[in-house]
Amino acid sequence: MSGAEIYETDGVPIRAWVRGVQLEDGARHQLENVARLPVVFHHVAAMPDVHWGIGATVGSVIPTERAIIPAAVGVDIGCGMMAVETTLAAKDLPDSLRALRTAIEAAVPHGRSDNGGRNDRGAWRRGIPRPTAAAWEALADEYGELVDRHPRLGRGNDVNHLGTLGTGNHFIEVCLDERDVVWMMLHSGSRGVGNRIGTYFIELAKRDMRRELRNLPDKDLAYFREGAKHFADYVDAVDWAQRYAAANRRLMMDAVLAAARQELRPFELGLVAVNCHHNYVAREHHYGRDVYVTRKGAVRAGMGELGIIPGSMGAKSYIVRGKGNPESYCSCSHGAGRAMSRQEARRKFSVEDHARATEGVECRKDAEVIDETPMAYKPIDAVMAAQADLVEVVHTLRQVVCVKG
C-alpha cells in the first residue's frame, strides 16, 4: 500500500508522503503551481520534510520533459550529505568532547564570524592548502569555460570556498549508531559559487521567458526548454556545481578525520561511506519516459541505494537503504524539514530552550543558533514513519558533537 496522499490539481496530481506530518498551506500552493506547468510529467512527489521554498518547495521531486526549472534545482546546487563509519566505539571517546569539537572547528572553516582567520569568507587568504588546490585544479578549466560564456559567474568566491562548511543548516557531526560505533557526518554543498550559478540562471530563465511569464503561476518557475539558447549552458553549470559540492564534502571530511586523529586513539574507516546530493537534477527513466528529475531537498532512494536522512541539532539521524519506490521517483526526504521560519524560531525559543533540547550534545548553545534549534524542525520520528515505504533504516545515529557556522 502506498504511503502517499494524492491531491488532484488543474495539472498533474501531487503524491505527498505527509501522513502524520505538517503540510503547510504555502508549500501545498507551491506544489500546485509546479503541477500546473506544461513541462511537468505524470505527477509531482512531495517528501515528508516538504516546506515552502523559493518558487518550488524544499522536499519535492519534479519530473520534467525536455525542460529544466532552475528554481526547482535551487541555489545551493549539489548540497548534500557525507557520512563515514569508523572503527572507533563510544568507549574510545573521552568524557569531555570539547577538545574534539574545538579541533574540528579549527580544521574546517565555517561561519561568518572570525574564528582565528578561519571563517568561510577568508578561509584561504593565507594560502590554499595543497589538497584544496589539487581539487580546484580538476575543476578550474571547466569553470573558466563557463565564465568565458557567462562573465557574471566569475564575480565572487570559487576556490576560496572549496573545503569550507558555510552557515545555516550546514553542519559537521560526530555520531554514535545503535551499536555504539562512531560515525563522522557532514552537510554542505557548492557554497557561494553554486549560489551564484543558481541565482544567475533563475534570472536568465525569467528573461528568456519574459513573453510567457504572465502565463506562469509563479515567475520563479521560469524554465529552459531543450534546444533553447541557454539550456546546454545551464546543464553544464549544474553538473559542474554538483561535482564541486561533492569535492567540497570530501575535502572537509578529510579535514575532520585528521582532526579526530589528533584527539582520539588511532582508527580506520569502516565499511560504510555515503556521499549523496539532495539538491540536483539528473536524467532518469520513469513511467516509460526519459525525463529530467529535479530533487530539491530530496535524496535518490533507488533499490538498495544508501542515503542519509539527518535530523536536527539534538535529534536522531539515519543511514537508509532505498526501496526503489516508483511513485516517489525512487526518492526519500533529505532531513526532518523546517516546521517554522528562522525568524519565528528566534522569536519563539530562548537560549535556555535550546540548551535543554541539545542536552548531552557538545555544540553551540547561544543565541546565534536558535534558528537551528530542534523545535524549529518537524519531528524526525514522524518524518521517518511517513516514508516507511520509501526506505529502510540501516543505522540510527545519535549525535554527540555538532559544529555549526
State how far Cα 362 lies from the chain centre: 23
Q: Tell me the C-alpha distance between 178 and 332, whole Å.
A: 22
Residue 83 cell numbers, joined: 557520512
Assign residue 374 a region (left: φ > 0; alpha: ψ between -120 and 50; beta: otherwise): alpha
**Number of C-beta neighbours around residue 348 at 10 A:** 13
Judge whether 334 counts as a catalytic residue.
yes
Q: Which three cell numbers stand for residue 93?
A: 571517546
For helices 98-107 and 231-263, the axis angle rounded to 10 degrees is: 140
Q: Is 333 exposed, middle or buried (0-12, 13-18, 19+ CB in 10 A)?
A: buried
H or E stretch at 306: strand 306-309
Helices (H), 221-315: 231-263
Nine-digit cell string for 385? 514513519
CA distance 65 to 27: 23
Q: 43, 170, 277, 334: which is the annotated catalytic residue?
A: 334
Q: Which of 27, 13, 24, 11 is nearest to 60 (CA)?
A: 27
- CA 22, 24, 27, 32 torsion-angle sign: positive
The Cα-based distances of 208 to 77, 125, 196, 203, 204 in angstroms read 21, 38, 18, 9, 6
93 SS3 class: coil
What residues are annotated to the active site? 334
